[in-house]
Structure formats: structure tokens, C-alpha cells
């Protein structure tokens, strides 16, 4: 047990040491004191960075262990190892559970949206501004103005986006069999990059039905859709009409179904249906059934993202009798524009430059400085190419100032994308990844962008110019768990319910009447109340971005 004299002596010694340390003038708080801590002396920082550290990391997308070759190389360069946490069930449920229990991993990758905002509002993620200013030179260089756009209402950054920056790359379009297009007399337009008018498109559908009433004894259908992917259907048809995520009018934002062009779109789709040009089973098609139909040679066109047709295109190529015509047997994406719509303003490629996920540092992290330095390395060009290309001298080489992938790397992904990614670690994790090319002109996304197959190449040629940044419209709706969020759900469900009914109405008059009925239900549900929230949030965002 301590005596009073001993206690006084100890206090005196502590005070003396403190005074002497203060006179030294070089003392700084430890580097792991958090976001308000100053950095240690350079020698101290180097010592800290040379010490191995391990972080728990929740990744909503990938649960692989951080021990593949790319992971080991990242650890070698940063002295940081990760214990990846990823639920076997629903990531959203796991995220909500962790937040409620306050059992948080050190670093988190969360999809942008309600749950990420919930984490920020609860103070579960720490602000990164001071950390970036002191320890994030690569983050500042690579993200640039994007850091302004990912700020929260309080002006602080709580996460780093991935797949950020607007990429001129296509999404939706109208896909048609190239070989059949040539047989129908439009060979000059199959790969010249020119759009089709809606009349030209309808004419092709009719000609197909007339020229091929049956194939292998089965009736043909000019066009079918994937009933399990309504977003691809509406995204394609809205694209041809130039419809944006919101209808801006009278200084405010309205739901896109109030855009006069939306009703024009419904009338057009209904006319295709009543003329027998659309598969009568389209709304109930499951993905597998849809793919089988497209691979059967009894269908000419669809509306979708071009990458969703990989399976039917592979089957069609294999079935081609003439090896020289294998590529022509596939579905290729084209731009179709509605009457009065400027082809340059078609909206097939609506996408946000703010990215998919947010990578943040939780309040449970005991060493946020090391964590931000780790993220700063990943955000750098070196980190980007390491995550997405693999290891220099093993997976790729630098030749004449450019990154050049090794043939075996490309071949490995062509043979088994998922298996090769798991084996090598290349493109397994996409934290802090930026869209577009690096400083040498090669794309950061090796496997997705370096080599282009014929379908992707034509998609870029026909539709890349329809890429439009929708970042200003991201997540303008009400916060989750609020009464307005219930209204939002009801509105979405109502539109989803009426969309197929309008398309498959027996006449245009019935289609319009069904649209009017939908609009009345939406008003009763409270759509005008939502639109005030959209407008208010939109104006606040534009002000924040100044």
C-alpha cells in the first residue's frame, strides 16, 4: 500500500519530467491519438509505420481472406494486414446489427445509401478531413473535387468512394442480332455508330416477323425482356426518350413519371405490344428463361445492359455454322431515339460519379493514422495498379512507360474469371478504385477495360456518349425509418405494379387510362410530399458543393 510521502514524491517526479519534456521543444503527441492528434517526429513516424498492424475490415461485397498474392504484397508495402469480415447472409442485416450493438470493426466498406448515412449520423465513422490533410497526399491528388461532393451536411468527409469519377462507358441499349440485321437490309448501320430512329427500329421488328414467322417450327417473337430486371427495361426505354432521374419543372424536382415524355414512352411500348412485337410473357420471364429464349434463335431483340447477354451470346456463337460468322451471330447494343429527342441527349448511361461504396474508419479504430495511411496507399496509382493488375514482374510489366499485362494474366481471367481472381487477388478488392485511365493511359480496371470484345467495342462506339452524371440526384429521398420513407416505398411499389399493366393494355386508350389511375394513386399515397423532400435535398446539395 502506498504511503503519502511516496505519493507526493511520485507526483513531483512526474511534474519534473513533464517540465523537462516541455523545454525540449520537439515533443509531439503520439501519432495514434486520433483525428485531432498531431504527427510524431519523423523518426517516430517511421518507427510506427515499420511496426506491423492488423485491422478488422468489414467488406459488404467480398469475404475472402486477405492472404492471396496481391494481399501479401499490399501488406509487404504497408505493414498492414487485414482480417476481412463479411456475413454469409444479408450484409444490410449484419451492418444494422453491428451498429445497434456498437460492435464495430476498424475499417468498413459500406454501400452508399441509407445504411452508410445511418452510420455517419450515429457517429460510428470518424471524420477524415484532418487525417487526409496530414497523411493523405495521394487521396487529395486522386480524388480532387470529389472530396467536396462526398461531404456530409456538416461539411466533413466520413468515407472514401470507390469506382468514383464519371466514366464514358455504356449501360443500357437495344440489343439486336447482327446477322439478322444484315439479312433485314440494314448492313450499313450494323457498326457505323449511327443511331436508329424509333420508326426504323419498329420497321426492323416488323420485317423480322414477316421474314421469319417461324423458326424450327416455333413462332418467332421480335422482342422479349427479362421480367426479373425491370430496371434494365425501363432504363433502356427511358434512354431513348432522354428521361432523367427526376423531372425538373417550375424550379423543383418531380418524380420522372410526371415527365410528359414518360407517357409518350408508355404509348410507344404499348403500341409495340398491341402489334404483337413484344413477347406476351415478358413480364413473368425469369432470368434463366429469358436467356434460353434469346439463345433459341427465335428472338431478334431485347432491351438490357449489354453485359447481361453473355450466356445467350456464347451459345449463339457456338451454334454458328460458319466459323467466320460467329461474332455476327451475337446480340449487339444500339441507340434508338424517340421523335424529337436529340441523339446526344439520350440517357441510356445514367450513372453517378460518386461511386458504389464508401470506405470509412470506425470510431473503434485505435490507430486511425495508420488506417488512413493504408487507404492513402491504396488510393495511389501504385495501389490502384496493384489491386487491379497484380504484381509487377509477375502479372504485368512496365514497357516503354506503359503497364502491359502478361498474356497468362489475361488468359487466366478469360478461362475462369472468379477462380483466377481468387487465386491471384487481382481485382478481388476494389477499395478506393477510380474509374478511367492512369497517368500512362492504361485503364486501372485491367480485366474490365483493357481488352474489348466485339460486343463491348460496339457498345462503346454506339452508346458511350449517353453517359450522364447523376451524382446531384443521388439519394435525395427521405431518410430510412421515417414516415416519408414508407411513402417512398408505397410510391415505388405503385409504379412497379402499374408499369406492366400500362405496357400490356389492350389499347392506347386503356394504357392512358391506366396511367391516369396510377397518378391518382400516387397523389393519394403522398407523392407531392416526397417531391418537396427531393427538391429541398437537391438544393441543399448544390449549396454544399459550392
Q: What is the pLDDT of residue 323?
A: 87
Q: What are the grid coordinates assigned to 342, written together?
A: 436529340
Longest dimension (CA), the chain: 107
How many alpha carbons fall within 13 Å on the CB side of residue 207? 13
**Closest C-alpha among 185, 132, 182, 173 to residue 156:** 132
Q: What is the pLDDT of residues 305-343, one digit of tens each?
A: 999 999 999 999 999 988 889 999 999 999 999 999 999
Q: What are the grid coordinates assigned to 522, written together?
A: 400516387
Q: What is the pLDDT of residue 451?
A: 84
Distances (CA, A) of 323 to 178, 320, 329, 415: 15, 7, 10, 20
Higher pLDDT, 29 or 108: 108
Q: What are the grid coordinates assigned to 492, written together?
A: 415505388
Contact 338, 268 (CB under 8 A): yes
C-alpha 501, offset from chain centre: 30
Helical ranges in 504-526 per DSSP H: 508-525
- The least confident of 121-130, 253-262, 300-309, 317-326 is 317-326
**Closest C-alpha among 109, 72, 84 to residue 424:** 72
What's the burial of 503, exposed, middle or buried (CB within 10 Å: 0-12/13-18/19+)? buried
Mean pLDDT over 200-219 rounds to 94
Quote the percentage of the chain above a pLDDT of 70.
91
Question: Can you tell me whether residue 363 is helix, strand or coil?
Answer: coil
Banded pLDDT at 48 (limits 50, 70, 90): low
Distances (CA, A) of 455 to 40, 207, 215, 303, 412: 54, 23, 25, 15, 21
Contact 507, 514 (CB under 8 A): no
Banded pLDDT at 299 (limits 50, 70, 90): very high
What is this structure's pTM?
A: 0.81
Helical ranges in 354-440 per DSSP H: 368-379, 381-389, 407-415, 417-424
Q: What is the pLDDT of residues 283-298, one digit of tens each?
A: 999 999 999 999 998 9
Question: Can you tell me whether residue 166 is helix, strand or coil?
Answer: coil
Amino acid at each position: 500500500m502506498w504511503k503519502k510521502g511516496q505519493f507526493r514524491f511520485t507526483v513531483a517526479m512526474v511534474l519534473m519530467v513533464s517540465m523537462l519534456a516541455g523545454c525540449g521543444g520537439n515533443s509531439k503527441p503520439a501519432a495514434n491519438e486520433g483525428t485531432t492528434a498531431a504527427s510524431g517526429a519523423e523518426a517516430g513516424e517511421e518507427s510506427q509505420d515499420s511496426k506491423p498492424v492488423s485491422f478488422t475490415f468489414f467488406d459488404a461485397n467480398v469475404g475472402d481472406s486477405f492472404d492471396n498474392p496481391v494481399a501479401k504484397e499490399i501488406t509487404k508495402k504497408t505493414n498492414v494486414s487485414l482480417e476481412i469480415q463479411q456475413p454469409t447472409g444479408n450484409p444490410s442485416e449484419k451492418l444494422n446489427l453491428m451498429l445497434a450493438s456498437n460492435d464495430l470493426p476498424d475499417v468498413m466498406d459500406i454501400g452508399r445509401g441509407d445504411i452508410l448515412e445511418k452510420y455517419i449520423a450515429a457517429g460510428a465513422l470518424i471524420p477524415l478531413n484532418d487525417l487526409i490533410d496530414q497523411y493523405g497526399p495521394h487521396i487529395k491528388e486522386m480524388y480532387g473535387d470529389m472530396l467536396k461532393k462526398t461531404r456530409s451536411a456538416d461539411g466533413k468527409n466520413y468515407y472514401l468512394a470507390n469506382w468514383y469519377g464519371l466514366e464514358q462507358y455504356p449501360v443500357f441499349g437495344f440489343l439486336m442480332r447482327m446477322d439478322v440485321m444484315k439479312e433485314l437490309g440494314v448492313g450499313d448501320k450494323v457498326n457505323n455508330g449511327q443511331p436508329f430512329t424509333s420508326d426504323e427500329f419498329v420497321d426492323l421488328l416488323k420485317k423480322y416477323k414477316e421474314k421469319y414467322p417461324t423458326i424450327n417450327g416455333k413462332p418467332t417473337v421480335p422482342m422479349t425482356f427479362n421480367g426479373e430486371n425491370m430496371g434494365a427495361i425501363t432504363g433502356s426505354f427511358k434512354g431513348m426518350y432522354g428521361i432523367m432521374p427526376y423531372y425538373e419543372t417550375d424550379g423543383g424536382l418531380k418524380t420522372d413519371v410526371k415527365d410528359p415524355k414518360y407517357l409518350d414512352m408508355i404509348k410507344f411500348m404499348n403500341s409495340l405490344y398491341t402489334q404483337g412485337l413484344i413477347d406476351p410473357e415478358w413480364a413473368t420471364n425469369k432470368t434463366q428463361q429469358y436467356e434460353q429464349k434469346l439463345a433459341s434463335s427465335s428472338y431478334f431483340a431485347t432491351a438490357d445492359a449489354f453485359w447481361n447477354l453473355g450466356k445467350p451470346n456464347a451459345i449463339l456463337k457456338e451454334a454458328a455454322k460458319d466459323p467466320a460468322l460467329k461474332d455476327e451471330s451475337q446480340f449487339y447494343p444500339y441507340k434508338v431515339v424517340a421523335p424529337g429527342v436529340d441523339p446526344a441527349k439520350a440517357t441510356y448511361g445514367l450513372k453517378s460519379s460518386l461511386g458504389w461504396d464508401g470506405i470509412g474508419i470506425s470510431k473503434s479504430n485505435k490507430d486511425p493514422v495508420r488506417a488512413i495511411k493504408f487507404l492513402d496507399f491504396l488510393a495511389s496509382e501504385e495501389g490502384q495498379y496493384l489491386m487491379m493488375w497484380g504484381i509487377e514482374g509477375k502479372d504485368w510489366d512496365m514497357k516503354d512507360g506503359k503497364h502491359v499485362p502478361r498474356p497468362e494474366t489475361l488468359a487466366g481471367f478469360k478461362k475462369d474469371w472468379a477462380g483466377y481472381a481468387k487465386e491471384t487477388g487481382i481485382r478481388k478488392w476494389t477499395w478506393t478504385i477510380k474509374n478511367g485511365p492512369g497517368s500512362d493511359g492504361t485503364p486501372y480496371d485491367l480485366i474490365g477495360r483493357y481488352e474489348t470484345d466485339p460486343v463491348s467495342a460496339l457498345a462503346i462506339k454506339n452508346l458511350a456518349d449517353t453517359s450522364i452524371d447523376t451524382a446531384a440526384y443521388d439519394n435525395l429521398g427521405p431518410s430510412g425509418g421515417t414516415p416519408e420513407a414508407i411513402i417512398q416505398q408505397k410510391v415505388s411499389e405503385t409504379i412497379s405494379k402499374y408499369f406492366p399493366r400500362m405496357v400490356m393494355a389492350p389499347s392506347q386508350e386503356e394504357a392512358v387510362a391506366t396511367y391516369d389511375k396510377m397518378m391518382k394513386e400516387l397523389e393519394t399515397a403522398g407523392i407531392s410530399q416526397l417531391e418537396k423532400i427531393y427538391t429541398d435535398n437537391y438544393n441543399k446539395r448544390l449549396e454544399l458543393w459550392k
